[in-house]
Structure 1
Amino acid sequence: MHTSPVHVPVFDALRDEDHPGLELRHTVAEDLWERARGPAAVADEVRARVREVVDRGARAVRCTRSAIGGVAEATAVGLAVLESTPRPTAAPVEEGAARAGRSARVRAVSAEGAWACFEAGDPAGCARRVADAADAVTGADAIVLAQASVAPAERLTTIRVPVLSRPRAGLAAAARLRHPAPRRRAGG
């Protein structure tokens, strides 16, 4: 579920690279873009749209707008992965580290001018600015690209630490719901 059509080719490209043959159905609700700045204003509509795509057969629902992601996650159907703000990105990183018995300190870094490129319909310029910002990061063990709109920057970075994209990871999680790994037999 997207609030902008620019996310459709991003997820199609990720699917083609990592999960060929996986069926994706995109629901674009541009009308939620401005109203989603206050999630309470669109909560009922988001819940209804999530239920609708699940009723049509979706096994996973991925929201690419943080303001509606929390509402979608609370709908308790399918899978919602939050995007686009530091807190929804930091929480899963910190929780994953804790489960592994480690700690993680997450810091947000802004890519100057990237949002202006995105709004101007220049996804390549947006990705380039994000990649440049990632390459300028020092003292990090990994970089997580939070927003779906910046996932293409993952391929443009030259930094030596791993660069991970939440959209790629979220799509992989959704794909596992569709094609779960085979279970091992006991004793074999």
Structure 2
Amino acid sequence: MLALLHTSPVHVPVFDALRHQHHPGLELRHVVLPELLDRARRDGAAAVAGDVLAVLRGAAADGARAVLCTCSTLGGVAEACAGDAGVPVLRVDRPMAAAAVALGPRVVVLATLRSTLGPTVALVEEEAGRAGRPVAVRTHVLDEAWRAFEGGDAGRCARLVAGAADAIPAADADVIVLAQASMAPAGPLTTTSVPVLSGPRRGLAAGARVALRQ
């Protein structure tokens, strides 16, 4: 069984659909705690480390073979807690970051939440260092898209994100990274020739591999 730590309930059907399509034998258990993101945005991600660790330990006690954190803001905190969690811990955006740096050094990160930028940029740079590749990261925060998402208009959020991706000149980017799992629906709406990467499909695949081999 793979447990997933979410900070929005909208992720549940997304990952259930991916499981149904790509990993039909995998059992998922969803833990949805929006308050963790609220506190992390207000006080910093480190402020919720104790609560994240408690979630991870609870998942292990309930029989999870691995935990996948789907919140980019909390992903680094979740990974840092892995040694005390009693279960492997993965962040949903790491496979995406590894794929991004393989495509070229000019990485553009789009986010709808400013709190996501630091963790995502650090992750891309970490994966670039691990691969021995140069990287130059540029970032854009799409505040209006977040307001649409918070207001329950996921379709408008996706359209705004897709529009922002399409507005990036192809000559200025080798790859565009959608920093948050909630931005993934924008990917199919883009028309840019630049590859646009999102985390859920790759992240779930990585989680499934770990959970099924334990």
Q: Same fold (TM over 0.5)?
A: yes
Answer yes or no: is the 8 Å Cα contact 2:53–2:81 preserved in 1: yes
Equivalent positions of 1:139-150 (< 5 A) are: 139-150=172-183
In the aligned structure 2, how far is the partner of 1:36 from the partner of 1:7? 18
**Which one of the candidate residues 145, 168, 172 is aligned to 1:114?**
145
- Given the superposition, is the C-alpha separation of residues 90 and 75 from structure 1 closer, same or farther in structure 2, using an over 3 Å criterion? same
Answer yes or no: is the 8 Å Cα contact 2:70–2:91 preserved in 1: yes
Q: Between Structure 1 and Structure 2, how many residues are aligned?
A: 180
Matched, 1:159 2:192: yes
- Per-residue deviation, 1:40: 4.3
Farther off after superposition, 169-178 or 145-154: 169-178
Matched, 1:94 2:132: no
- Residue ranges of structure 1 left out of the alignment (5+ in a row): 181-188
Residue identity in the other structure for 1:89: T
Q: Identity percentage over the alignment?
A: 59
In the other structure, the counterpart of 1:31 is: 35
Matched, 1:4 2:1: no
In the aligned structure 1, how far is the partner of 2:37 from the partner of 2:123? 24
Answer yes or no: is the 8 Å Cα contact 1:82–1:89 preserved in 2: no
Residue identity in the other structure for 2:159: R
- Given the superposition, is the C-alpha separation of residues 153 and 18 from structure 1 closer, same or farther in structure 2, using an over 3 Å criterion? farther
- Given the superposition, is the C-alpha separation of residues 41 and 7 from structure 1 closer, same or farther in structure 2, using an over 3 Å criterion? same
In the aligned structure 1, how far is the partner of 2:120 from the partner of 2:22? 21
Residue identity in the other structure for 1:136: A
- Residue ranges of structure 2 left out of the alignment (5+ in a row): 94-112
Matched, 1:81 2:91: yes
Matched, 1:49 2:69: no
Q: Which has the larger radius of gyration?
A: 1
In the aligned structure 2, how far is the partner of 1:178 from the partner of 1:34? 29
- Per-residue deviation, 1:55: 2.0
Answer yes or no: is the 8 Å Cα contact 1:97–1:104 preserved in 2: yes
- Per-residue deviation, 1:161: 1.7
**Backbone CA RMSD of aligned residues:** 2.2
The list of structure 1 runs, each at least 4 consecutive aligned residues, that deviate by more than 6 angstroms after superposition, is none
Deviations 1:3-50 (A, max 9, x none): 221111222233334433332211012333422332344332221111
User: What is the TM-score with the length of structure 2 in the denominator?
Assistant: 0.74
- Given the superposition, is the C-alpha separation of residues 14 and 154 from structure 1 closer, same or farther in structure 2, using an over 3 Å criterion? farther
In the aligned structure 1, how far is the partner of 2:36 from the partner of 2:175? 32
